[in-house]
């Protein structure tokens, strides 16, 4: 492989994508500079504490700081001047109409441009944030040129490389992606970034696909919308299975998944998808498509099925318990999935809102998301200190997130602690054979 003397990489934004990207580069021996406009977050990162829970990230961060390869700086200019490539990893939240808010992208591009104005060496700017097709070309490029007074392609390079990492396995996903996509403004920018990735991955490089900027942007939306479609599809099958005696959606998913054309992953039925990506990206794709004059029917249904799916848990609770007024309902799991403290768009939030509207008293517990929930949520929820504390005196328990810790609970635990042992298994983590004879048990996708 051609030797490539990279001075270092910089990231703008120290969220999941930015911080994981920077610390993974550092782990491979590169210098990485991180910048975040939120000084509180930056201070946490500097002291070796990631601002969110992510397995293996804290040790990578601490190692990087100890080796002085990782620096979280207060000046974006310094980050750009001391490195050869800058990854834009800032948030692209949803606006009220579902479209994406590009404020952080544009501010970052403006600031990076100002730094580029002071730089004579070639530098490549890479958009890693999820943005709709056309954004890098029509919004980022003009902003960079305006504040740098330079010309894209001639004076600096521009690429867009979507990020496919999953929360909870972000570090592993970054080291071992299925593929890397490079959307490039011109060949020089693409060649440069491909070299960066080839050096990062070494001998075992994943396939690296090169395409134009808009295609790179679209690959990300199409991938996330397809995965979300798989989930809503299996949830729809689950809802049908529940109405047929003897059917279990897990068995059906297994039978489907072994067909190599379908594949086994993302066919786990549950209470719907949440998190910082799928809901936002599905909404953005709908809005983008509508803006082009095309009504995207499948993606809209994916969204609608998902909106209803969390409420399925409350419907099941009402079927089994009757009126929920003044009933104590225990929620096991607040995070949108296990191994993360992230509660953004989590099904638990819709469930809590609906339970409170039914007049229930809600107790909740999550192994990682308690402080986040207490800080953000504005609901009268009783926060428990353990799963057993959460189910204590409850009239009904809903398992929302499939944490390992919850899988260890057995029927006797529920019998000993609950007022009335009614368990709604929203992620089908228990064996119905073991639970059914001993307590009232219902699971998503499980017929009577």
Q: Rounded to the nearest whole angstrom, what is the least distance from the CB of residue 75 to ligand UDX in the complex?
A: 29
Which residues, 6 or more positions from 403, have their beta carbon under 8 angstroms from its beta carbon? Answer: 332, 333, 335, 338, 339, 366, 367
Q: Of 27-35, 266-274, 391-399, 433-441, which segment contacts ligand UDX by CB under 6 A?
A: 266-274
CB 264 within 8 A of CB 253: yes
Binding residues with ligand UDX: total (CB under 6 A): 19
Asked whether the CA dihedral 407, 409, 411, 415 is positive or negative, the reply is: negative
Cβ nearer to ligand UDX, comparing 113 with 270: 270
End-to-end CA separation in angstroms for the chain: 60
What's the CA gap between 145 and 444, in Å, rounded?
53
Rule CB under 6 A: is residue 183 a binding residue for ligand UDX? no
DSSP string, 276-311: SSHHHHHHHHHHHHHHTT---HHHHHHHHHHHHHTH
Rule CB under 6 A: is residue 366 a binding residue for ligand UDX? no
| Burial class of residue 160 (count of CB atoms within 10 Å of its CB; 0-12, 13-18, 19+) | buried
Q: Which residue has the tokens 């305006």?
A: 146
Q: Of 29-37, 97-105, 224-232, 370-378, which segment contacts ligand UDX by CB under 6 A?
A: 224-232
What's the CA gap between 401 and 373, in Å, rounded?
14
Cβ nearer to ligand UDX, comparing 122 with 266: 266
Own/partner contacts of 234-241, CB < 8 Å, gap of 24 or more, are 234/266, 234/267, 234/268, 234/269, 235/269, 235/270, 235/272, 235/305, 235/306, 235/309, 235/444, 235/445, 236/305, 237/269, 237/445, 238/269, 238/444, 238/445, 239/312, 239/445, 241/445, 241/446, 241/447
What's the CA gap between 154 and 86, in Å, rounded?
17
Rule CB under 6 A: is residue 90 a binding residue for ligand UDX? no
Q: Which residues form the catalytic set?
A: 277
Q: Which of 336, 365, 430, 435 binds ligand UDX (CB under 6 A)?
A: 336
Rule CB under 6 A: is residue 227 a binding residue for ligand UDX? yes
Cβ nearer to ligand UDX, comparing 79 with 314: 314
Cβ nearer to ligand UDX, comparing 327 with 344: 344
Residue 13's nearest CA partner among 62, 57, 61, 72 is 72
Q: Rounded to the nearest whole angstrom, what is the least distance from the CB of residue 320 to ligand UDX in the complex?
A: 22
Rule CB under 6 A: is residue 15 a binding residue for ligand UDX? no
**Residues 360-394 as b or e (16 or more Cβ within 10 Å = b):** bbbbbbbbbbbebbeeebeeebebbeebeebbbeb
Rule CB under 6 A: is residue 177 a binding residue for ligand UDX? no
Q: Rounded to the nearest whole angstrom, what is the least distance from the CB of residue 313 to ligand UDX in the complex?
A: 13
Q: Which of 278, 365, 403, 435 binds ligand UDX (CB under 6 A)?
A: 278
Q: Which of 231, 285, 330, 399 binds ligand UDX (CB under 6 A)?
A: 231
Q: Rounded to the nearest whole angstrom, what is the least distance from the CB of residue 364 to ligand UDX in the complex?
A: 17
What's the CA gap between 36 and 13, in Å, rounded?
5
Q: Of 139-147, 181-189, 203-211, 260-268, which segment contacts ligand UDX by CB under 6 A?
A: 260-268
Cβ nearer to ligand UDX, comparing 65 with 373: 373
Site for ligand UDX in 113-172 (CB under 6 A): 163-167
Q: Which of 23, 86, 268, 341 binds ligand UDX (CB under 6 A)?
A: 268
Please state the φ and ψ torsions of residue 396, each to the nearest 5 degrees: -165, 145
Q: Rounded to the nearest whole angstrom, what is the least distance from the CB of residue 52 to ligand UDX in the complex?
A: 11
Residue 269's nearest CA partner among 433, 447, 81, 78 is 447
| Residue with the CB atom nearest ligand UDX in the bound state | 277
Q: Which residue has the tokens 């225990």?
A: 330
What's the CA gap between 402 and 315, in Å, rounded?
20
Q: Rounded to the nearest whole angstrom, what is the least distance from the CB of residue 404 to ligand UDX in the complex?
A: 14
Rule CB under 6 A: is residue 267 a binding residue for ligand UDX? yes
Q: Rounded to the nearest whole angstrom, what is the least distance from the CB of residue 46 to ligand UDX in the complex?
A: 25
Q: Which of 13, 15, 113, 270 binds ligand UDX (CB under 6 A)?
A: 270
Cβ nearer to ligand UDX, comparing 113 with 347: 347
Q: Rounded to the nearest whole angstrom, what is the least distance from the CB of residue 235 to ligand UDX in the complex?
A: 7
Cβ nearer to ligand UDX, comparing 88 with 116: 88
Q: Rounded to the nearest whole angstrom, what is the least distance from the CB of residue 175 to ligand UDX in the complex?
A: 15
Helix (H, G, I), strand (E, B) or coil at 429: coil
Rule CB under 6 A: is residue 383 a binding residue for ligand UDX? no
Q: Which of 51, 64, 177, 274 binds ligand UDX (CB under 6 A)?
A: 274
Beta bridge partners of 332: 365, 399
The residues of the shown chain that bind ligand UDX, judged by CB under 6 A, are 163-167, 224, 227, 231, 266-268, 270, 273-275, 277-278, 336-337
């Amino acid at each position: 492989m051609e030797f490539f003397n990279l001075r270092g990489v910089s990231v703008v934004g120290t969220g999941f994508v930015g911080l994981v990207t920077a610390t993974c580069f550092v782990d491979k021996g590169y210098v990485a500079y991180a910048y975040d406009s939120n000084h509180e977050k930056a201070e946490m990162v500097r002291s070796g504490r990631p601002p969110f829970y992510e397995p293996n990230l804290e040790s990578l961060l601490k190692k990087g700081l100890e080796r002085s390869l990782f620096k979280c700086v207060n000046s974006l200019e310094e980050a750009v001047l001391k490195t050869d490539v800058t990854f834009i990893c800032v948030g692209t939240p949803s606006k009220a109409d579902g479209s994406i808010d590009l404020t952080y992208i544009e501010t970052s591009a403006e600031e990076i441009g100002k730094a580029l104005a002071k730089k004579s060496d070639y530098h490549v700017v890479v958009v890693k944030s999820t943005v709709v097709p056309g954004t890098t070309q029509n919004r980022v490029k003009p902003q960079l040129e305006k504040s740098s007074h330079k010309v894209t392609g001639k004076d600096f390079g521009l690429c867009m490389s979507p990020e496919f990492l999953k929360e909870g396995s972000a570090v592993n996903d970054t080291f071992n992606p299925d593929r890397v996509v490079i959307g490039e403004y011109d060949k020089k920018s693409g060649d440069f970034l491909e070299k960066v990735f080839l050096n990062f991955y070494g001998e075992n490089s994943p396939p690296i696909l090169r395409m134009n900027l808009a295609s790179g942007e679209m690959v990300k939306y199409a991938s996330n919308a397809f995965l979300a479609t798989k989930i809503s599809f299996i949830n729809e099958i689950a809802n049908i299975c529940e109405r047929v005696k003897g059917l279990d959606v897990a068995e059906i998913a297994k039978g489907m998944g072994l067909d190599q054309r379908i594949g086994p992953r993302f066919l786990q039925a549950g209470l719907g998808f949440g998190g910082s990506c799928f809901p936002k990206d599905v909404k953005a794709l709908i809005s983008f498509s509508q803006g082009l004059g095309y009504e995207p029917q499948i993606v809209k249904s994916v969204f609608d099925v998902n909106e209803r799916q969390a409420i399925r848990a409350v419907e099941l609770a009402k079927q089994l318990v009757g009126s929920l007024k003044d009933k104590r309902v225990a929620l096991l799991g607040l995070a949108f999935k296990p191994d993360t403290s992230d509660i953004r768009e989590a099904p638990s939030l819709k469930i809590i809102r609906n339970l409170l509207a039914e007049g229930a008293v809600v107790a909740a517990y999550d192994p990682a998301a308690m402080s986040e929930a207490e800080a953000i949520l504005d609901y009268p929820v009783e926060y428990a200190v353990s799963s057993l504390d959460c189910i204590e005196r409850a009239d009904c328990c809903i398992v929302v997130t499939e944490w390992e810790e919850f899988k260890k609970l057995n029927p006797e635990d529920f019998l000993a602690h609950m007022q009335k042992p009614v368990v709604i298994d929203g992620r089908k983590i228990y064996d119905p054979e073991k639970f059914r004879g001993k307590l009232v048990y219902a699971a998503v996708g499980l017929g009577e």
